[in-house]
Amino acid sequence: MWKDFVDNLIYNTLNLDGHFADALNFFIYDTIKIWFLLISIIFVVSYLRTHFNTEYVRAYLQNKSQFTGNVLAALFGIITPFCSCSAIPLFLGFIQARIPIGVTFSFLISSPLNNEIAIALLFGIFGWKVTAIYIGFGLLIAIFGGYFIGKMNMEKYILMDVKPMEGELDEVKISLTFRQRSREAWEYTVDIFKKIYIYVMIGVGIGAFIHGYIPSDFIASYAGANNPFAVIIAVLMGIPMYSNAAGVMPLVEVLTSKGMLLGTALSFMMAVTALSLPEAMILKKILHVKLITLFFGIVGFGIICIGYIFNTIL
Amino acid sequence: MKIEILGTSCAKCKQLEENAKLAIAKIGGFHSIEKIDDIMKIMEYNVVSTPGLVVDGKVLSTGKLLNPQEIIDLIQ
């Protein structure tokens, strides 16, 4: 419906054709579509989120057994917000509550990986199937990544002494009315949207240019099936791009339509969200470099495996 | 009232401190505002997501950048 409207506007009302018309059509269609989906999905996620905060998650995870804890932590990671500036209190607070570091890492991996912006963009660009696969594999990485880190006895690499608390934390539910929750969710949505709408435009803009002007085989020859290292390169390129996830993903859409394999695209997007340099720099204050390297290594390895599995089976 | 803002040096935490000052200026009276950077002190309040807002030793909000009006609603 929206597609027909834009087609009609560009080709009939404005009477344009050629590469420029295609690029413009793509730009208008995609920008508005992604904006719309971003707003609706972020709103839904942040509404759900008004029921849980990180303090609640911590109380809930206390005294859960090793593997169950990893699974629950990864699941909670989907709905809880994550800001890398909170990484230190989160990490230390979890240790304080005697939550094993493996479980903490499951949460630390899942929370940025399954963030609402990434989910909204994936859904808007690739549809629900790819989104479900992304979340599913993302959870696997978070669960098993955390589980393996937990198995390696890395406690000695935490550079700060935290006294474990005694007793149990109360799971304090947040009591708000429907109106308050909606208002809070809406304010949060507007806030996020204001921060990222421009990146979506830039990403779609570059995408529109590629869409209209660059031939398909150009990208396929660099990032397509012929390049066995495509996944690894994609992951390495994704690491410094965290803050620009909103701009990067529309670009990935175009790259896949021009011959980049979907597994490579998924790996790239996971690397963008899960492996963030600023977060590593912040964690360096409380964690030994060895532990951070292990964290990045395991997550990076998991993402690369997923990329190759995907490229092989699809 | 004794208002404490919990948070290490992140942008949201600084903004919350500013907003708290604006809120106090609006309601008037004598109140102290203190920014708590020490991570150990933050943990004593059982807060794991910053910024946090504490009034007279009671945690009123965590992990959220509140605007001045929201702060006024919470502390009154």
ipTM exceeds 0.90, yes or no: no
Contact yes or no for A89 and B39 at CB 8 A: yes
pTM of the prediction?
Answer: 0.83
d(CA B62, nearest CA chain A) in Å: 8
Using the Cα atoms of residue A305, residue A307, residue A310 and residue A312 in order, give the sign of their dihedral.
Answer: negative
Q: Do A176 and A50 form a contact (C-beta atoms < 8 A)?
A: yes
Q: Which residue of A has its CA nearest to B49?
A: A86
Q: What is the pLDDT of residues A124-151, one digit of tens each?
A: 888 888 889 889 999 999 999 999 999 9
Q: Look at residue A78 in the predicted model and tell me its pLDDT.
A: 86
CB B74 within 8 A of CB A127: no
Instruction: Give the dihedral sign, CA A13/A15/A18/A20.
Output: negative
C-alpha gyration radius of chain B: 11
User: Is the Cβ of A85 closer than 8 Å to some Cβ of chain B?
Assistant: yes
A chain contacts of residue B39, beta-carbon cutoff 8 Å = 88-89, 92, 160
d(CA A164, CA A200): 44
**Average pLDDT for B58-67:** 86
Q: pLDDT means per 10 residues in chain A (314 residues)?
A: 81 80 85 89 87 85 88 89 76 88 92 84 84 91 94 85 75 77 88 86 84 70 75 84 73 80 87 84 88 92 90 79
Distance from CA of B48 to the nearest CA of A (A): 5
CATH superfamily of B2-75: Glutaredoxin (3.40.30.10)
The residues, any chain, with a CB within 8 Å of residue A79's CB and separated by 6 or more, are A45, A48, A49, A52
User: What is the pLDDT at residue A181?
Assistant: 87
Sequence ranges of the domains in chain B: 2-75
Q: Return the closest-CA partner of residue A49 out of A79, A84, A82.
A: A79
